[in-house]
């Protein structure tokens, strides 16, 4: 009698393996160090925000031990895209460490946080993933670069009119982001969902022109990414593709409502890790070392949970990996083989 063997299970991605190791260490720290109390003081509870660790980012100097006693206070002005509990927590924790953080928010605008940074009006920004950053750098001949990683959001397909993807009809309209980086991410997600196929040479910035198979003849409607959640109830739209963290809390939408979700911790998700970005000549500013410590504080994790209800995770990725991927994406964006 011949017995069949079970095929080997593929190893987890480097990102997921690092996450699991960090989670084990964090649980031990919570038990032995009483770290829960600090977060509870800020928002009434601690969330299990997950830190993905793989190395010390460049510029991680200064602020040793979390104190700056006797040292001159440092300051950073950071551009963002909207007020949040996370920003409040960052400012609070940073102040304790001798770093004064001022947030300058540009509501519903994903150009000004970068153009203001290039112009020297702010010291850094915190709103974008490295794929978006690569597209900006390429289009504007800029040299903005990651200082360290912050968060990653899960993306999904959402609908107010159908309960699953099988409910899509021929010719249905699906809203996707109109910028190259997020629009490409949406198309990759739709391919993973089995709705379309993309050309093998589509690269990291596929467009609707790269769709080679579309059995339902779906129509893709590109709009500004930050406005996509408002399209959910449009009767002319069958579904939208957007990050789970983009919905306003008043909408009551979370990852459980998605018809399909991407895998935010897959190796292929590295281009969508959000970062603190700065001008290349400023990355060694010791203030950024303190800021990185701030993002590892439990109260910042609690602030993120208050904003995103678990749809966004804190992640820590080696800065060299981020910069290498950024360089690759910039080459692709310029059409360089």
Task: Return the half-sphere exposure (C-beta side, CA atoms, 13 A cut-off) of residue 101.
Answer: 27
Q: Are residues 167 and 139 in the same domain?
A: no
Asked whether 175 and 239 are in contact (CB, 8 A), the reply is yes
Residues in CB range of 235: below 8 A, 6 or more apart:
161
Do the domain assignments include residue 5?
no
Average pLDDT, integer, range 173-199: 95
| Boundary (domain end) residue, out of 261, 281, 308 | 261
What strands, in cross-sheet order, belong to the sheet with 219-223?
219-223, 173-177, 239-243, 155-158, 260-261
Domain total of the chain = 2
* This model's pTM is above 0.75: no
What whole-number percentage of the chain has pLDDT above 90?
A: 62
Clarify whether residues 102 and 133 are in a common domain. yes
Q: Is residue 30 part of a domain?
A: no
pLDDT tens for 239-283 read: 999 998 888 878 888 889 999 999 887 878 889 999 999 999 999
Tokens of residue 61, six digits: 């100097």
Residue 1 is assigned to a structural domain of this protein: no
Same domain flag for 303 and 327: yes
Looking at the structure, tell me whether residues 196 and 245 fall in a common domain: yes
Is 166 within a domain? yes
Identify the domain containing residue 300 by its residue range: 16-21+40-153+267-333
User: C-alpha distances in angstroms, 215 versus 64, 191, 229?
Assistant: 57, 12, 26
Could you read off the pLDDT of 132-176 as tens digits, one per residue? 999 999 999 999 999 999 999 889 999 999 999 999 999 999 999
> Is 149 found in the same domain as 83?
yes
């Amino acid at each position: 009698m011949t017995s069949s063997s079970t095929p080997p299970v593929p190893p987890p991605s480097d990102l997921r393996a690092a996450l699991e190791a960090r989670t084990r260490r964090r649980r031990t720290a919570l038990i032995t160090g009483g770290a829960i109390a600090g977060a509870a003081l800020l928002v009434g509870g601690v969330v299990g925000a997950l830190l993905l660790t793989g190395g010390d980012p460049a510029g991680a100097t200064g602020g040793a031990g979390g104190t700056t006693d006797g040292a001159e206070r440092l300051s950073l002005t950071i551009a963002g895209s909207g007020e949040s509990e996370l920003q409040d927590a960052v400012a609070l924790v940073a102040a304790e460490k001798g770093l004064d953080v001022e947030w300058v928010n540009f509501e519903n605008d994903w150009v000004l946080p970068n153009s203001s940074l290039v112009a020297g009006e702010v010291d850094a920004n915190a709103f974008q993933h490295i794929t978006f950053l690569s597209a900006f750098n390429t289009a504007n001949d800029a040299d903005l670069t990651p200082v360290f990683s912050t968060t990653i959001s899960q993306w999904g397909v959402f609908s107010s009119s159908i309960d699953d993807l099988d409910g899509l009809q021929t010719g249905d309209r699906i809203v996707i982001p109109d910028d190259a980086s997020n629009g490409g991410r949406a198309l990759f997600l739709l391919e993973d969902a089995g709705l379309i196929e993309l050309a093998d040479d589509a690269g990291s910035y596929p467009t609707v022109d790269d769709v080679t198979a579309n059995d339902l003849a779906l129509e893709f409607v590109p709009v500004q990414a930050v406005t996509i959640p408002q399209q959910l109830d449009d009767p002319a739209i069958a579904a939208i593709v957007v990050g789970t963290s983009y919905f306003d809390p008043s909408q009551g939408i979370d990852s459980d409502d998605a018809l399909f979700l991407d895998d935010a911790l897959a190796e292929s998700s590295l281009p969508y890790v959000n970062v603190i970005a700065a001008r290349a000549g400023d990355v060694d500013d010791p203030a950024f070392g303190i800021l990185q410590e701030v993002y590892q504080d439990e109260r910042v994790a609690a602030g993120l949970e208050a904003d995103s209800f678990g749809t966004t995770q804190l992640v820590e990725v080696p800065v060299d990996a981020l910069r290498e991927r950024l360089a690759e994406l910039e080459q692709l964006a310029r059409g360089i083989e």
